[in-house]
Amino acid sequence: METVLVTGAGGYIGSNAAEYFVRAGYRVVGVVHRKVADRFARLGVKTITADLTDEAAIGRLFDDKPDYVVHIAARASDVGRDEWFRAANYEVVKNLASVSTDRNVKRFVYLSTADVYGLHDFNGESEDELSFDESAVNPYPKYKILSEKWLAANLSRERFSCVRPCVVYGRGDTSITPRTVAYLKNSPFVFHFGKWRGRNRWPLAHVENVCRTLHAAMVLPEAGGEGVTVLDSRRVTLSEYYRELAAEFLPGKRLRETTLPMALIRPIAALSTALSKRKPLFDPTLYALDTVSHNLDFSNARMRSWLEKAGLEEFSHDTYR
């Protein structure tokens, strides 16, 4: 039985991935920091508690001689100090990938983000047509980009792969779904910003599709040295997303939608960003504003191709829970 080392196994995506790989027949070793999701705790798999920013702690993660490393742990936020992101989302990647190579791990699979392409309007571009947004100043995509570039420069192609999910939702979501439901519950209006008026694509990636794509990236020869966008095939506009969430979580809630000009809302978003430290003080931050006001419409052809070649299917679900 092959062993998969999953970092960030105590979090939302990581706990789903750990459970997925157990179901897929792998022995899983999960690395957790402090908080452990109930889903992961119930698995009964080996757990290692470690601070990945401590270089001395990384070596002992490989005592079980993992065949693969799936690196999910990261600081995931749209606000925070640059040095926090550099330490957690860049230095850790370099150290962990280096040790993975030294220990002859078959493949290091890095969970990146589709935000490496930038936050502007897209029109179905594939990975071959997309490039990194070198102008990124937000530390979250900035260090995801630098990490991907470091892997490409320092590891042979067959030893790594990058998985770039869009907006992740699904079972156990502790981030985007509860944050949006709280907004819908407490706001008298649903606000859209700029020219799209809520008709822009909201790029949803079910967590199960993220897990299945991580699996494909781990085992397929052609995935070596490549990046793949994870995006559900079902197209959902931002307006439709709000309405579907309200129907499921706030039945009977009447949504009233209105559009504000970007010139009006951007100073408020800038203030939110300036005042926010470890998490957003109020929405929208500048990063969140750019996310919801653009048409994030990518091609998922590579994802579907990889899933098919790995003997997997795209997952579809009719609930946000």
Q: Give pLDDT, residue 317.
A: 85
Segment 72-91 shows an average pLDDT of 95
Tell me: pLDDT of 42 over 80. Answer: no
β-strand pairing of 68-71 with 3-7: parallel
- Looking at the DSSP assignment, which residues form a beta bridge with residue 28? 4
Segment 143-161 shows an average pLDDT of 98
- Looking at the DSSP assignment, which residues form a beta bridge with residue 230? 165
Residue that the structure tokens 């209006």 belong to: 189
Q: Give pLDDT, residue 318.
A: 84
Q: Give pLDDT, residue 41.
A: 67
Tell me: pLDDT of 125 over 80. Answer: yes
d(CA 163, CA 218): 10
Delineate the domains of the chain, giving CATH numbers in brackets.
3-171+203-233+298-309 (3.40.50.720), 176-200+236-292 (no CATH)
At 132, list the tokens: 């990194």
d(CA 21, CA 13): 12
Tell me: pLDDT of 273 over 70. Answer: yes
Q: Confidence class of residue 101 from pLDDT cuts 50, 70 and 90?
A: very high
Q: Give pLDDT, residue 39.
A: 67
d(CA 17, CA 200): 29
Segment 267-272 shows an average pLDDT of 92
- For 45-62, the DSSP string reads -EEEE--TT-HHHHGGGG
H or E element that contains 143: helix 139-154
Q: Confidence class of residue 143 from pLDDT cuts 50, 70 and 90?
A: very high
Apex 200 CA angle, 137 and 240, nearest 5: 125
